[in-house]
Amino acid sequence: MRGGQGAARAPVIQFTNCRILRGGALLREDLWVRGGRILDPEKLFFEERRVADEQRDCGGCILAPGFIDVQINGGFGVDFSQASEDVGSGVALVARRILSHGVTSFCPTLVTSPLEVYHKVLPQIPVKSGGPHGAGVLGVHLEGPFISREKRGAHPEAHLRSFEADAFQDVLATYGGLDNVRIVTLAPELGHSQEVIRALTALGICVSLGHSVADLGTAEEAVQSGATFITHLFNAMLPFHHRDPGIVGLLTSDRLPAGRHIFYGMIADGIHTNPAALRIAHRAHPKGLVLVTDAVPALGLGNGRHTLGQQEVEVDGLTAYVAGTNTLSGSIAPMDTCVRHFLQATGCSVESALEAASLHPAQLLGLEKRKGTLDFGADADFVVLDDSLHVRATYISGELVWQVEEARP
């Protein structure tokens, strides 16, 4: 339990001998935690006149805010879009396994599915705090079904939908309710989409543009209506064209609402986006880049052939193919691999790479006071990394929830 009256009596833990990511820089500072939150040690010293109850030596490692994955379709054999009786345990399995990738919060993602799936699955994925049981669920990301036929990618054509006259009611009827929903990806060129975007934004749901053939003008209008995210930039949208940049043009558009900028997801697994394209996007708009895995159920299954639902998938290193073919079958790079690859491909600073996986997704979801930072008062969700950004340990609410094997006694 975070905060609350008991917090003042909770033990104070001081993580020493580390570099922490704070204010966009890696500082040689200690991290103080109490009651599951980051504590201001100066205030503790001068006002409460207390010192730490426990000190933990971090061996010179980097302490970064826990990674936040806003687009993950499943993993370890679990498919979130499958209407099973016990969706909860599937989500829990993934939540627990991604701790080793440094992910402390995530948005389980559902691809385009029939109504029955939404009605059955959505109520079984409540928002949940993280802990030793697994990463926290921030809410569901609904990718579809209101997307473009032409750019559906791997989404099943039969279940695509467009908005009827009473568009928002149609949305509610399709999903069966928006209680646990955090992000909705839709194509803004669909009729009535602007009013849907406004309605969803008014409910506090993040609207993302993706799987779309929209031109830049339509995309800008969508942003003015409230859209704040682009789903996996470059994939499933019109390619950049110099006379009509399409959705990609939002990165440098001057017609966005004042004081706001667009966020965009990128799959930096080294396979789904050419590193040069990654660099172009990053250089054009570094503050909006959000690293996502867009991982499929084959994530974490190891090399070889696996049966996932109706599909046979062949995993080879970081690539998943439809078995027996050369067709990519979704991404399976864990988040920490994406962070490392992003760092190496763009040549950006370590701080930028870490922020792309933590601060930016938190800002996208309006959670930056509590998540994605190590500022005083934020939730103590953080990851211990060595200099090559490999995860050594993961903490949620100041509690150790995962650590690398050899560290165990």
Partner 1 sequence: MRRIRWTRRGLLCAGVYIRVLRLRATRAGWGRSGLLGVGCFSCSSVGRASGSTGLNLSWKLCVTIMRLVILDNYDLASEWAAKYICNRIIQFRPGQDRYFTLGLPTGSTPLGCYKKLIEYHKNGDLSFKYVKTFNMDEYVGLPRNHPESYHSYMWNNFFKHIDIDPNNAHILDGNATDLQAECDAFEKKIKEAGGIDLFVGGIGPDGHIAFNEPGSSLVSRTRLKTLAMDTILANAKYFDGDLSKVPTMALTVGVGTVMDAREVMILITGAHKAFALYKAIEEGVNHMWTVSAFQQHPRTIFVCDEDATLELRVKTVKYFKGLMHVHNKLVDPLYSMKEGN
294: annotated active-site residue: yes
Non-local CB neighbours of 323 within 8 Å, separated by 6+ positions: 305, 311, 312, 313, 314
Q: Under a CB-based contact definition with an 8 Å cutoff, are residues 334 and 101 in contact?
A: yes
17 versus 307: smaller Cβ distance to partner 1: 17
Taking the complex as a whole, the smallest distance from the CB of residue 49 to partner 1 amounts, in Å, to: 4
Q: What is the DSSP letter of 235?
A: T
Q: Which stretch binds partner 1 (CB under 8 A): 47-55, 82-90, 102-110, 396-404?
A: 47-55
57 lies in the binding site for partner 1 (CB under 8 A): no
Taking the complex as a whole, the smallest distance from the CB of residue 373 to partner 1 amounts, in Å, to: 18
51 lies in the binding site for partner 1 (CB under 8 A): yes
Taking the complex as a whole, the smallest distance from the CB of residue 48 to partner 1 amounts, in Å, to: 8
202 lies in the binding site for partner 1 (CB under 8 A): no
Q: Which of 5, 6, 9, 49 binds partner 1 (CB under 8 A)?
A: 49
43 lies in the binding site for partner 1 (CB under 8 A): yes
Q: How far apart are CA 330 and CA 209, in angstroms?
A: 19
Picking from 320, 248, 322, the residue whose alpha carbon sits closest to that of residue 289 is: 248
Catalytic annotation, pick one of 294, 336, 379, 381: 294
Taking the complex as a whole, the smallest distance from the CB of residue 46 to partner 1 amounts, in Å, to: 6
42 versus 244: smaller Cβ distance to partner 1: 42
44 versus 256: smaller Cβ distance to partner 1: 44
Q: Which of 11, 27, 45, 260 binds partner 1 (CB under 8 A)?
A: 45
54 lies in the binding site for partner 1 (CB under 8 A): no
Q: How far apart are CA 295 and CA 108, in angstroms?
A: 10
Non-local CB neighbours of 46 within 8 Å, separated by 6+ positions: none
Q: How far apart are CA 351 and CA 90, in angstroms?
A: 33
Burial of 28 (0-12, 13-18, 19+ CB in 10 A): exposed
Please list the residues that pair with 394 across neighbouring strands. 383, 402
Q: Which of 30, 170, 312, 399 binds partner 1 (CB under 8 A)?
A: 30
Q: Under a CB-based contact definition with an 8 Å cutoff, are residues 121 and 85 in contact?
A: no
Query: What CA–CA distances, in Å, run from 341 to 73, 105, 147, 190?
Result: 21, 21, 30, 35
28 lies in the binding site for partner 1 (CB under 8 A): no
Q: Which stretch binds partner 1 (CB under 8 A): 34-42, 247-255, 305-313, 381-389?
A: 34-42
44 versus 318: smaller Cβ distance to partner 1: 44
Give catalytic residues, as residue numbers: 294
Per CB under 8 A, residues contacting partner 1 are 30, 40-46, 48-51
